[in-house]
Structures are given as structure tokens and as C-alpha cells.
Amino acid sequence: MNKDINTLSYQLLAASCVFARIAEIDYRISEEYRTDILKLIDRGIGGFCTFQGSLEATGVMIAELQARAGDTLLFCADYEHGLPMRLEGGTDFPHAMALGKVNSTELTRKVGQAIAREARAIGVQWNFSPVCDVNSNPKNPIINIRAFGETPNAVIPHVGAMSEGLQSEGVIACAKHFPGHGDTATDSHLSLPTLGHSRERLEGVEFAPFEAAIADGVRSVMVAHLAVPALSKPEDAALPASLNPAIITGILREKMNFQGLIVTDALDMNAITNHYSSGDAAIRAINAGNDVVLLPENPIEAIDALAREAEENPEFAARLRASATRIEAAKEWCRSFPPPEPISLENHGKLALEVARKAVTVDDMRNVLPLQQYGTFAAFAVMQDDNLQPGAEFFHFLSQVVEQDCDFGFLDASISDDEAAALAEQTADAEVIVAAIFVRGRSHTGTVDLPAHISKALNIIANGRQIAAILLGSPYLRSSIQATSYVSTYSDSTASIGAAALALGGKV
């Protein structure tokens, strides 16, 4: 090990267990932001979790910061389906549910390898993937297509394959969100969900993918911000799992015998910040059995609080030292791999499209497809927010697949009946209506439902014509749309959007 953990001061010991948020876009444009980041490095922070920015510039930033820190930092990220989940650039692979639908562990492993290669190429050594949650609740507003499936048997093979693919390339995999976030109806970015199942149910469903991941050698586990009364002491029934000793130490560390890194989910989420200061949350996290205090709202406050607690409490100091030792061992494991080899983004793109095409399911009850059988059609992209890029990508791909004239337009929840009627008149020559639905579970939205007016608006626009609904996201929205043909991609990645266009052209 590069560090002798036993000789570190309490301040350095505390800092080594804290991982802060960093966004290349802010680092590039704000001198004050860069100064704050450098102060954290000088304090001995253990690492950073990367967010918005470009791929190339993020790689440059990471190299600069590693040089400043003497190559002692561990960089992590949420690259569940590839680097574009957080950055501009890299390969946008289909989401986990698409991989589950393809049901080829070999392809899942290859996707994990490809993501790891791209991550290592820019200096990211720890990927918060795979998602081990069993998405048994169709109304889940945050997991949804991030899960491989709806049953443990559907999830377990792909959890192992993704972990193996990532770790074979020198990137630490992370099983999340323990003890299981799949059957919740609340977004923990907004408030604290409660998982109300019995312990027997939890052990039979929620635990199973995590136990399999641990048996397969996953090197880290992330603990969720959700209350689980059945696993808690009565006085801790409302305590988040991420701060709960009975769940982390009692179950994950002792019962499941997991010896790797344990990391909290992001501590700057409302489920935590609504109830705890950064310092209090950090202390509770370590006392509960976590090793990494991830993204405290105020990293300096968290470091100082941990150091003070260590100075006053020998038992806490020992826990902090044990966590720092595990973190250093993880860094050593990453360093044991040779430098990454050159990667082929072209080959990765082909892999992404292969998975996306195999994941597509088509239910064409009245032979509405392919679109080539019509002289004209009208296509609308139903958007979840003000980011129109996915819809524009869909129109671009569709125009390459079909040759006939068509009208393109965007819809959102603000559409009125009068506006829908006007669109019906404007598209009167179209023989069929295509509705691409870009709605899925997203953080901070609190819902995965289709906006109330959309289905009605589509029927007004169609005015008796057939509708081909393309579910580019949540497959559970089918019951909310009255259509005669359904195409499901289980993902809104670039490759999945392209595969949807191919399906409309009869080429899937």
C-alpha cells in the first residue's frame, strides 16, 4: 500500500473516507470551484465522483488532479449504461432492462467490459453498477429500466455478468442499492422511501441478487436511502438503511459476510439532507458500517466531524481506520492492472446496436408496420422534460429508414385539446400516427406515469387513424396508451432509439 494507514492523523484518516462531487463543466469555467477542489485534495480526500462535462476534458481534469494528489485518488461514477449517463461522449449502451430482455449473459459481460475500458481510459476506476434491484413495482419512479428485470431469477445472471465484465478490465463493480430499491414508489432524491415487506419476503426477493453478486466476487456494495422496518430495531424503523447498523453491519457485513467496500448512496439526496447535517450523516454512516461517505452536501464539514469524533472516541477511530484500510486496498487493486489498451468506439457502437436490436419487442396486432406501406405518416415525440435531443435523434434515424414524406413534432404535458385538434388538421394527409414515448424513471421527477393529457391528445390527433406507439423508456406505459401497434425498447439510449427506427421500417 502507498499509505501507512496506522500513521495517518485523524484529519487525513477522515478525509480518506470521504468522496466528493466533481463536475468537469464547473471545474473548467470556475476558478473558485477549482480552488475548492484543490483544497479537498490537499486535505487528503479519498476520491471524487464525476458528473457533467465532456469525455476528453474529464480525462484531462482527472489526470491533473491525480498529479496533484500523487496518484492517490479513486475516481468513481454512475456509468450504468455507459459514460453518456454522466458525460458528453463515449458509448451509450442500452439500459439494464434491455440487456435483461436479450438475456445473453455473454453480451452483458461484453457491455461491462466495454464500459470499463472507456471508464479507465479517462481515469475512472470505480463504476456504480450493476443495479441489483428487482423492479417488482411498475410504478417505481427511480429504478424502472435501470433494473435487469422484475424477478430475482431475471436479475441474478446479469448482475454477475456485468460485475465480471467490469472487474475483468480493472474497474471496481458496485452492487446497488442494498437491501433493494425495486419495490418502492418514492424517489429517494426527493424524500425517504419505506420498504414495508416482511423479512421473509426481503430475504426471498430483494436480498437474492446481492447475495449472488457477493458470491460472484463483486468488490463493493452501495446502500440505499430507504427505511426498512422489518430489518431494523423498533426505535430505528424510520432510519435510512444507509445509516442503519442493523442492516449494514448486522446483515451485509456479518450475515452475508461481505468483506469488500461498502459505500452510502449519495448523501446530498433529500432523503438525507432533510434530516441530517453533513457532519451528522458522515458520523452515522461510518458507525453503521459504511467505508465510503459518498457526496456529503458539505465535504469539509463531513471531514471535520469525522476527525473530531475519531479524536474523542477510540472505537470510532478504529472503525474509521478499518474503512480507510479497505479503501486503500481497493486503490491497490486498481493499480495492479496494466495501463488500459486503446479502445475502439466503433466496435463498442456496434455492440450497443446489436444489444438494442435484440432487445426490441414488437406487438403489431393489425399489421400497422412497416411504415413503408404508407404514402405519408406523422410522427410525434412525447417528451418528459425540455431536453428535445432524444426526440430529434429519433426523427433523424427514422428519416434514414423510410423514404416517404412525413411530419415531425414534439408533444408534452402542456398540450391542450384545441392544440391537439389543430395538429389533427395539420396532419390530415397522414395515413398513420407514430408516437415515440420518451418517459422513464428519472431522479427528482417523483413519477414514471405518462402525463395525463398525452393519451387523450394522441387520440384527438389520430382522429380515428391507427397509432403505432414506441415505448422508448418504461415498458409499463402500454396500458396508458390506446394504440394498435406497440414497439418496446426498454431503453432510451442512442442505440435503442436507432433500433426503434429500424423496427418501424421492418428491419428488426
Helical spans, DSSP H, in 252-298: 270-273, 278-288
The Cα–Cα gap between 13 and 316 comes to 11
According to DSSP, residue 338 is labeled P
Q: Which three cell numbers stand for residue 226?
A: 430507504
According to DSSP, residue 240 is labeled B
Residue type, 473: G
Angle subtended at Cα 390 by Cα 51 and Cα 422, rounded to the nearest 5 degrees: 140
Q: Which three cell numbers stand for residue 198?
A: 416482511
The Cα–Cα gap between 131 and 100 comes to 12
DSSP string, 149-216: -SSHHHHHHHHHHHHHHHHHTT-B-EEEEET--TT-SS-TTTS--B----HHHHHHTTHHHHHHHHHT
Say which residue the cell 414524406 belongs to. Answer: 405
Please indicate whether residue 265 is annotated as part of the active site.
yes
The Cα–Cα gap between 503 and 487 comes to 8
Residue type, 465: R
Asked if residues 293 and 20 have their Cβ atoms less than 8 Å apart, the reply is no
The Cα–Cα gap between 435 and 485 comes to 10
3-class SS of residue 49: strand
Single out the catalytic residue among 183, 265, 268, 304.
265
Environment class of residue 403 by beta-carbon count within 10 Å: exposed (0-12), middle (13-18) or buried (19+)?
exposed
Closest by Cα among 292, 286, 317 to 19: 292
Residues 6 or more apart in contact with residue 140 via CB below 8 angstroms:
181, 182, 183, 184, 185, 441, 448
Query: Would you give the end-to-end CA distance of the chain in angstroms?
Result: 52
According to DSSP, residue 292 is labeled B
CA of residue 147 relative to chain centroid, distance: 9
Residue 329 phi, psi dihedral angles, 5° rounding = -65, -35
3-class SS of residue 121: helix
Single out the catalytic residue among 189, 197, 225, 453.
189
The Cα–Cα gap between 359 and 426 comes to 34
Residue 232 phi, psi dihedral angles, 5° rounding = -115, 160
Asked if residues 304 and 311 have their Cβ atoms less than 8 Å apart, the reply is no
Question: Which residues carry out catalysis?
Answer: 189, 265
